[in-house]
Chains A and B, each alone.
Chain A
Amino acid sequence: MTAAETFYDVIRRQGITRRSFTKFCSLTAASLGFGPGAARAIAMALEIKERVPVIWMHGLECTCCSESFIRSAHPLVKDVILSMISLDYDDTIMAAAGNQAEAILEKTKETYKGKYILAVEGNPPLNEGGMFCIDGGRPFVEKLKWMTEDAFAIIAWGACACWGCVQAAQPNPTQAMPIDKVIFDKPIIKVPGCPPIAEVMTGVVTFITTFGKLPELDRQGRPKMFYSQRIHDKCYRRPHFDAGQFVEEWDDEGARKGYCLYKMGCKGPTTYNACSTVRWNGGVSFPIQSGHGCIGCSEDGFWDNGSFYERLTSLHQFGIEANANKVGLTATGIVGGAIAAHAAVTAVKRITAKRKKADV
Chain B
Amino acid sequence: MTKRTPNGFTLDNSGKRIVVDPVTRIEGHMRIEVNVDENNIIRNAVSTGTMWRGIEVILKNRDPRDAWAFTERICGVCTGTHALTSVRAVENALGITIPDNANSIRNLMQLALQVHDHIVHFYHLHALDWVDVVSALSADPKATSALAQSVSDWPLSSPGYFKDIQIRLKKFFESGQLGPFKNGYWGNASYKLPAEANLMAVAHYLEALDFQKEIVKIHTIFGGKNPHPNWLVGGVPCPINIDGTGAVGAINIERLNMVTSIIDQIIEFNEKVYVPDIMAIGSFYKDWLYGGGLSGKNVLAYGDVPEHANDYSDVSLKLPRGAIVNGNLAEIHPVDHADPEQIQEFVTHSWYKYPDETNGLHPWDGVTEPHYELGPDAKGTKTNIEQLDEAAKYSWIKAPRWRGHAMEVGPLARWVVGYAQNKAEFKDPIDKVLTDLGLPVSALFSTLGRTAARALESSWAGHQMRYFQNKLVANIKAGDSSTATIDKWKPETWPKEAKGVGFTEAPRGALGHWIKIKSGKIDNYQCVVPTTWNGSPRDPEGNIGAFEASLMDTPMCDPAQPLEILRTIHSFDPCLACSTHVMSPDGQEMARVQVR
Binding site for B on A (CB under 8 A): 1-5, 50-51, 53, 58, 60-68, 70-73, 76-78, 81-82, 85-104, 124-142, 165-167, 169-177, 181-182, 194-195, 198, 236-237, 249-251, 255-259, 275, 280-282, 284-292, 295, 297, 303, 307-309
Contact = CB atoms under 8 A, between A and B. Distances in A.
B21 interface: yes
Interface stretch (B172-180, B265-273, B398-406): B172-180
Contacts, number: 357
Contact of A4 (B177, B210, B561): B177
Nearest to A89: B182
Contact of B383 (A3, A70, A78, A131): A131
B45 interface: no
Contacts of A131: 372, 382-383
B31 to A, nearest CB: 7
Contact of B237 (A73, A92, A236, A250): A250
Interface string B107-126: 00000000000001000110
Most interface-central of B183, B216, B482 (chain A CB within 10 A): B183
B591 interface: yes
Nearest to A139: B383
Contacts of B209: 70, 76-78
A258 B566 CA distance: 49
A174 B171 CA distance: 45
Nearest to B245: A257
A55 to B, nearest CB: 11
B172 to A, nearest CB: 5
A71 to B, nearest CB: 4
24 contacts: A4-B172, A51-B175, A60-B51, A64-B73, A71-B216, A85-B179, A87-B179, A89-B182, A91-B26, A97-B562, A98-B21, A101-B183, A124-B593, A134-B29, A138-B385, A166-B53, A172-B58, A194-B73, A237-B249, A249-B489, A256-B244, A275-B225, A281-B216, A291-B238
Interface in B240-277: 240-241, 244-250, 258
Nearest to B206: A78
A291 B167 CA distance: 46
Contacts of A82: 168, 172, 179
Interface in B121-148: 124-125, 128, 133
A192 to B, nearest CB: 14
B172 A5 contact: yes
A183 to B, nearest CB: 10
B482 A251 contact: yes
B410 interface: no
Interface in B8-59: 19-29, 31, 50-55, 57-58
Nearest to B99: A251
A321 B49 CA distance: 48
A136 B383 CA distance: 10
Given A4-B174, A142-B383, 10 more contacts: A2-B174, A78-B210, A92-B26, A132-B53, A133-B51, A133-B52, A137-B31, A141-B593, A258-B250, A290-B223
Contacts of A98: 19-23, 562
B327 to A, nearest CB: 31
A171 B57 contact: yes
Most interface-central of A66, A90, A307 (chain B CB within 10 A): A307
A194 B216 contact: no
B170 interface: yes
Contacts of B464: none
A95 B128 contact: yes
A250 B27 CA distance: 34
B370 A128 contact: yes
B430 interface: no
B75 interface: yes
Given A4-B172, A93-B125, A258-B246, A62 B50 contact: no
Contact of A181 (B73, B372, B595): B595
A247 to B, nearest CB: 9
Contacts of B220: 280-281, 284-285, 290
Interface stretch (B226-234, B437-445, B501-509): B226-234
A194 B22 contact: no
A173 B54 contact: yes
A142 B128 CA distance: 29
Contact of B592 (A91, A126, A165, A309): A126
A256 B384 contact: no
Contacts of B128: 95
A244 B147 CA distance: 63
A86 B70 contact: no
B224 A130 contact: no
Contacts of A78: 206, 209-210
Nearest 8 Cβ contacts at the A-B interface: A64-B76, A4-B175, A258-B249, A95-B184, A257-B246, A287-B224, A290-B224, A173-B54
Interface in B337-385: 370, 372, 380, 382-385
